[in-house]
Structure 1
Amino acid sequence: MLLNLCIKDYALIDNVSISFGPGLNILTGETGAGKSIIIDAINLIIGERAYTDFIRTGKQNASVEAVFEYEDDAVDEILKEYGIEPEDNTLIITREINAQGRSISRLNGKMVPVSALKRVGKLIVDIHGQHEHQSLLDSKNHMRILDLLGDEDISKCKAEVNRLYKKYCQIQKQINELEKRHLEFSREQDRLRYELDELEKAQLKPDEDISLQEDKKILENAEKIYGALEFAYNALYQGFEDLSVIDGLSKIIDSLEKIVGIYAPVESITESLKNILYELEDISSSLRNLRDSIDFDGSKLDLLNKRLELLDRLKSKYNKSLPELIDYKAQIAAELDNAFNVTEEIDELKTMLYNIESELGKSANELHKKRHRVANHLEESIAKELKDLAMKNVKFKVDIRVKNSPNGIDLNGEKVSVTENGIDEVEFLISTNPGEPLKPLAKIISGGESSRIMLALKSIIAKVDNISCLIFDEIDTGIGGRTAQAVGEKLSKIARNHQILCVTHSPQIASIGDYHYLIKKESKGEHTSTKVYCIEGEDRINELARMLGGAEITKNTITHAQEMLNMAKKLKKG
């Protein structure tokens, strides 16, 4: 609901603040007074193009600010996208334009792109008349409106279609990913098999290259190692020309044992020497074994070098260490094993997809039938509304199409496109004259005729439409008398659940309003400006009398105006 509209230095307006009320708000005034300026200002607020021509002559800037009250949670989501915290379902939209053509837009005081205003505007205001901002002209909204009219019957069916469609897409995605992996694997399969065969034949062992390097070092220095071990062993055990170390130590121990009984201090020394002797005997035995293990076979060194060359070549080829090569071999083997499992998994998923597709097709077809039933009822209701508005020759139809697609689901032997909303494309069509073909709503004549057609539609869908503020611009063009009265009654009916702003020249429509605003062009010297007054009582009677009789207000027109207001009160109470 539009609570307040402030306009400054815009067209003929110096500075105007208008507080609108709930229900039906009527805007009247003489031709050229500036009624359209108010609607243009609201269009500016909801993201329509800004022109520097709108800036008041002699001023550098023009600004419009609107305060809205809303209930649609989608507005909160948009605000959060731009880092704006919602404030008690109140929204302040500001738009400024300067003489250089720059436009500044704000939501609750924070600067945002004009696209943000457009997104929010579609949720809070619907303008019908010579303007593009009409939700009903956008075919994207037609399915949503039709489904809302179907109440719980359609919403349950639609929820089931949505659930199955998501599952269908999820399985299809899994199949596509697995098939992609399988295709990539097929291209690499020969290479992987060759690599696995090569690595398996190599019979790799952890840290083998390190131990082979140690063996190579020993074989290359066999003579040197053998000589050192031989010398050490002989020195300890065999001796050369003199006694060996072990024989010499044995003689020392024998000599000391002879005096242990008479000279106690040597007892501990003797025991220590015995322990040393035992260790030297073990050491000499180890040296002998090591010496005897030294291999002088040159062919073994050749085999070892060849093995090392193989390992180095594999490490260089794959750019991996030996442990990494062993892990890579296991990885390749696993990939080759999984290839067979992937094929089986794809087959299982395709079976699941077939079953889900069948369920989805049945649910989507059921939703399709339900929409047709709701569409038939809507067409009948709109026909009645149009007849009341003296537009009995206007034909309205809900076009529900099913689009074929080679990538769609199978339905009765045909491939049809499907989305989370089912298989349907919905569009409202209209023919305004006998013999003319049905056309999209966006193609109908703009102005009063368009407004009345939209009024007929709004009369039916108002209960499910969550756009709280509706604006009808000069809805009375080309009508009068009983038809104008019917338009006013329908506006009043819709205004029970929506706020309506209606620009009109019809006294029948104006009299039924809950609030009445008079737009006047006033001049002081060479300065002319548009003013807006909320009128009631005698002022309102006089304005209705002017609308009835033209420039001259007579006793009869005043009496007639009063009667119209009295009739309007009775109508609202009824």
Structure 2
Amino acid sequence: MNILTGETGAGKSIIIDAIGVIIGERASSEYIRTGKQSSTVEAVFDCKNNDVAKLLEEYGIENEDNLLFIDREITVQGRSFCHINGKIVPASVLKRLGKHLIDIHGQHQHQSLLDSQNHLLLLDLLGSEDVVEAKKKVQDYYRQYRHLTKKIQDLEKNRTEFNRQKDRLKYEVDEIEKAVLKLDEDVLLEEEKQVLQNAEKIYQVLESSYNIIYRGEDTPSIIDNINKIISGFEEIQNFYRPICSHLDFLKNVLYEFEDLTSSIRVLRDSIEFDPQRLDEIQSRLELIDRLKSKYNMSIAELMEYKQQAATRLDEVYNIDEEIDNLKIKLKDVMSKLAEKATELHSLRVKIAAKLERDISRELKDLGMKNIKFSVNFTQQYDEHGIDIDNAKVRISEEGFDQVEFLISTNPGEPLKPLAKIISGGETSRIMLALKNIMAKVDNVPCLIFDEIDTGIGGRTAQIVGEKLSMVARSHQVLCVTHSPQIASLGDIHFLIKKQTIDGTTFTQVSELTGSERVNELARMLGGAKITDNTLAHAREMLELAKKIKNLKKA
């Protein structure tokens, strides 16, 4: 718990403004010293936070051991330049990041708890694991609901188009199916066509070849001549050995020619001119070519297309049945979603009731006895929503609750949103009450309370200080105060004062320890004139504060 004190006009607001600049608040050229061209604010955060880590990753910023180095320069032209860990970023990134780093509680200052969009999240955080489990069930059914709804919408949207396609698909499937196509059939038929068209020529060549090799007519055949050569070689082989290898070669050649003549004979005898078969092939090729040209596809592609078209046709025939089945499933999912969302709502109502009691107790301790605090639940109605208690209600992954914290600061006044609170002191104390309750679940690590003591003193100021000290056990707290009771409970005390050097005014911040701190508390207690009594009172306050903090820790 860090206390910042100083006389009026010492520059406490400058420090708060500087922190606001760092977390993305409006940067005014008024913050620049007269005669200078720019002003720079720098800050270092030691922050281990998953939300911060995700943001840094989103913008490609290195996370250096959970340390954040942020600086922002403001120029007289009204421009500003922002850096996070050395990388330049827009001011909007600082604003997004700032929400996870600091809450400033003071009149007209940035306060996350005043934003109604955060109230549901804060309420759920108080519910701990029970709410997490209940929300998980809602989210599971919500995802099923969205999936089924979209699927039905897509099918219904496409049903007209499907029906329009039905006749065309049926015709195409029938046409390709009747053709009974076979893979590479056109290539094989074309080869057979060539044979039939040239049957006479083929037969003549084969017959002539057969005669030359085997059957010789006017002259001996090749086989006869080889046999004659073999006979001659056999007569001389016994007394002329070099001829033996050639004799073996000729015998092998003879065997090859005999096999060749056999094959030629089979081929020759298979050749016949069949005009009817040629007509059949021609007709078949014309059918295939027409289909290939019509669809601009090969036979393989036509066969695949037919399968796809048949599948599509099945979808067309079954679409109404599919939509009906999906609607039955959707009805069941909607019923379960409504049930789980209602259970989540009931759980939130119980948490809200406890929060209302706890806040009332806290505010009473803080001297705000007449304040009424309420958690207001509303739902958004939608004709396309889900039935909840005979009404069509819009549901999301968070359920159907819209939550806003309301408050009435004076008897007889109606409850209003927290953001409508006018008094800075009231706002800060209400925020302190909320923070004290939510200390264990609130993820914003640094809280700044600016003049939380406005309009209070004595015992109430003491209680405010004690509660700030409690919050400081789980958060870093910076508190600007004029109250000695609150200041005495700080763990670290800083003095803010103005100093003029060579005609130029500076605001200085220095840490107070020992007698310096006693003197500052005495000044806050007794004003400009410090007496031995006020010094003794200041020491007594510090001793009492030490005991209170030790007791709270115990």
Query: After alignment, is 375-384 or 341-350 more displaced?
Result: 341-350
Query: After alignment, is 178-187 or 308-317 more displaced?
Result: 178-187
Task: Note if 1:294 corresponds to 2:264.
Answer: no
User: Using a 3 Å threshold, how does the CA distance of structure 1 residues 227 and 537 change in structure 2: closer, same or farther?
Assistant: closer
Task: Note if 1:362 corresponds to 2:342.
Answer: no
Contact persistence 1:249–1:277 (CA under 8 A): yes
Kindly state the Cα deviation for residue 281 of structure 1 after the two structures are TM-superposed.
Answer: 6.8
Kindly state the Cα deviation for residue 454 of structure 1 after the two structures are TM-superposed.
Answer: 1.4
Task: Please point out which of 117, 120, 129 is paired with 2:97.
Answer: 120
Match of 2:431 in 1: 454
User: Using a 3 Å threshold, how does the CA distance of structure 1 residues 519 and 289 change in structure 2: closer, same or farther?
Assistant: same
Kindly state the Cα deviation for residue 225 of structure 1 after the two structures are TM-superposed.
Answer: 5.0
Match of 1:515 in 2: 492
Match of 1:147 in 2: 124
Task: Note if 1:543 corresponds to 2:520.
Answer: yes
User: Using a 3 Å threshold, how does the CA distance of structure 1 residues 245 and 412 change in structure 2: closer, same or farther?
Assistant: farther
Question: Partners of 2:252 and 2:466 in 1: how far apart?
Answer: 126
Match of 1:505 in 2: 482
Task: Note if 1:209 corresponds to 2:198.
Answer: no
Kindly state the Cα deviation for residue 287 of structure 1 after the two structures are TM-superposed.
Answer: 6.7
Question: Partners of 1:357 and 1:418 in 2: how far apart?
Answer: 10
Kindly state the Cα deviation for residue 398 of structure 1 after the two structures are TM-superposed.
Answer: 0.5
Q: Write the mapping of 1:306-321 to structure 2, written as runs, cut at 5 A.
A: 306-321=283-298
Kindly state the Cα deviation for residue 194 of structure 1 after the two structures are TM-superposed.
Answer: 1.3
Q: Write the mapping of 1:356-505 to structure 2, written as runs, cut at 5 A.
A: 356-445=333-422, 447-505=424-482
User: Using a 3 Å threshold, how does the CA distance of structure 1 residues 217 and 71 change in structure 2: closer, same or farther?
Assistant: closer
User: Using a 3 Å threshold, how does the CA distance of structure 1 residues 257 and 539 change in structure 2: closer, same or farther?
Assistant: closer
Kindly state the Cα deviation for residue 175 of structure 1 after the two structures are TM-superposed.
Answer: 4.9
Q: Deviations over 1:113-153 (max 9, x none)?
A: 33332233212211101344211012222112212223343
Match of 1:19 in 2: none
Match of 2:75 in 1: 98
User: Using a 3 Å threshold, how does the CA distance of structure 1 residues 506 and 249 change in structure 2: closer, same or farther?
Assistant: closer
Question: Partners of 2:26 and 2:437 in 1: how far apart?
Answer: 31
Question: Partners of 2:79 and 2:72 in 1: how far apart?
Answer: 11
Match of 1:332 in 2: 309
User: Using a 3 Å threshold, how does the CA distance of structure 1 residues 197 and 479 change in structure 2: closer, same or farther?
Assistant: same
Kindly state the Cα deviation for residue 195 of structure 1 after the two structures are TM-superposed.
Answer: 0.9
Kindly state the Cα deviation for residue 92 of structure 1 after the two structures are TM-superposed.
Answer: 2.8
Query: After alignment, is 180-189 or 470-479 more displaced?
Result: 180-189
Gapped regions of structure 1 (runs ≥ 5): 1-22
Question: Partners of 1:235 and 1:152 in 2: how far apart?
Answer: 100
User: Using a 3 Å threshold, how does the CA distance of structure 1 residues 227 and 155 change in structure 2: closer, same or farther?
Assistant: closer
Query: After alignment, is 400-409 or 164-173 more displaced?
Result: 164-173
Task: Note if 1:524 corresponds to 2:524.
Answer: no
Contact persistence 2:379–2:401 (CA under 8 A): yes
SS in 2 for 1:150: helix
Question: Partners of 1:517 and 1:259 in 2: how far apart?
Answer: 127
Kindly state the Cα deviation for residue 569 of structure 1 after the two structures are TM-superposed.
Answer: 3.5
SS in 1 for 2:100: helix
Task: Please point out which of 41, 45, 51 is paired with 2:28.
Answer: 51
The residue type equivalent to 1:429 in the other structure is: L
The residue type equivalent to 1:388 in the other structure is: D
Gapped regions of structure 2 (runs ≥ 5): none
User: Using a 3 Å threshold, how does the CA distance of structure 1 residues 123 and 225 change in structure 2: closer, same or farther?
Assistant: same
Kindly state the Cα deviation for residue 38 of structure 1 after the two structures are TM-superposed.
Answer: 0.7
Kindly state the Cα deviation for residue 416 of structure 1 after the two structures are TM-superposed.
Answer: 1.9
Contact persistence 1:232–1:287 (CA under 8 A): no
Q: Write the mapping of 1:22-171 to structure 2, written as runs, cut at 5 A.
A: 23=1, 25-171=2-148
Task: Please point out which of 155, 166, 169 is paired with 1:192.
Answer: 169
Query: After alignment, is 192-201 or 389-398 more displaced?
Result: 389-398
User: Using a 3 Å threshold, how does the CA distance of structure 1 residues 359 and 224 change in structure 2: closer, same or farther?
Assistant: same
Contact persistence 2:139–2:398 (CA under 8 A): yes
- Per the normalisation by structure 2, the TM-score is 0.84
Question: Partners of 2:237 and 2:70 in 1: how far apart?
Answer: 116
Contact persistence 1:237–1:284 (CA under 8 A): no
Kindly state the Cα deviation for residue 183 of structure 1 after the two structures are TM-superposed.
Answer: 6.2
Contact persistence 2:404–2:417 (CA under 8 A): yes
SS in 1 for 2:403: strand
Kindly state the Cα deviation for residue 209 of structure 1 after the two structures are TM-superposed.
Answer: 2.0
SS in 2 for 1:453: helix
Query: After alignment, is 77-86 or 180-189 more displaced?
Result: 180-189
Question: Partners of 1:43 and 1:64 in 2: how far apart?
Answer: 10
The residue type equivalent to 2:269 in the other structure is: N
Question: Partners of 1:180 and 1:112 in 2: how far apart?
Answer: 44
Contact persistence 1:226–1:294 (CA under 8 A): no
Q: Deviations over 1:409-452 (max 9, x none)?
A: 33333332222222211111123334433222222215222212
User: Using a 3 Å threshold, how does the CA distance of structure 1 residues 39 and 223 change in structure 2: closer, same or farther?
Assistant: same
Kindly state the Cα deviation for residue 39 of structure 1 after the two structures are TM-superposed.
Answer: 0.7
Q: How many residues align?
A: 545
User: Using a 3 Å threshold, how does the CA distance of structure 1 residues 75 and 236 change in structure 2: closer, same or farther?
Assistant: closer
The residue type equivalent to 2:335 in the other structure is: S
The residue type equivalent to 1:445 in the other structure is: I
The residue type equivalent to 1:521 in the other structure is: K
Question: Partners of 1:188 and 1:289 in 2: how far apart?
Answer: 54
User: Using a 3 Å threshold, how does the CA distance of structure 1 residues 37 and 255 change in structure 2: closer, same or farther?
Assistant: closer
Kindly state the Cα deviation for residue 533 of structure 1 after the two structures are TM-superposed.
Answer: 1.8
Contact persistence 1:253–1:273 (CA under 8 A): no
Contact persistence 1:381–1:460 (CA under 8 A): yes
Question: Partners of 1:287 and 1:534 in 2: how far apart?
Answer: 113
Question: Partners of 1:465 and 1:516 in 2: how far apart?
Answer: 25
Kindly state the Cα deviation for residue 397 of structure 1 after the two structures are TM-superposed.
Answer: 1.1
The residue type equivalent to 2:273 in the other structure is: I
User: Using a 3 Å threshold, how does the CA distance of structure 1 residues 211 and 550 change in structure 2: closer, same or farther?
Assistant: same
Question: Partners of 2:493 and 2:479 in 1: how far apart?
Answer: 10
Query: After alignment, is 563-572 or 205-214 more displaced?
Result: 563-572
Question: Partners of 2:256 and 2:58 in 1: how far apart?
Answer: 87
User: Using a 3 Å threshold, how does the CA distance of structure 1 residues 244 and 529 change in structure 2: closer, same or farther?
Assistant: same
Name the Cα RMSD after superposition: 3.8
The residue type equivalent to 1:38 in the other structure is: I
- Per the normalisation by structure 1, the TM-score is 0.82
Query: After alignment, is 276-285 or 467-476 more displaced?
Result: 276-285
Contact persistence 2:173–2:310 (CA under 8 A): yes
The residue type equivalent to 1:90 in the other structure is: L
SS in 2 for 1:43: helix
Query: After alignment, is 547-556 or 395-404 more displaced?
Result: 547-556
Contact persistence 1:236–1:284 (CA under 8 A): no
Contact persistence 1:236–1:245 (CA under 8 A): no
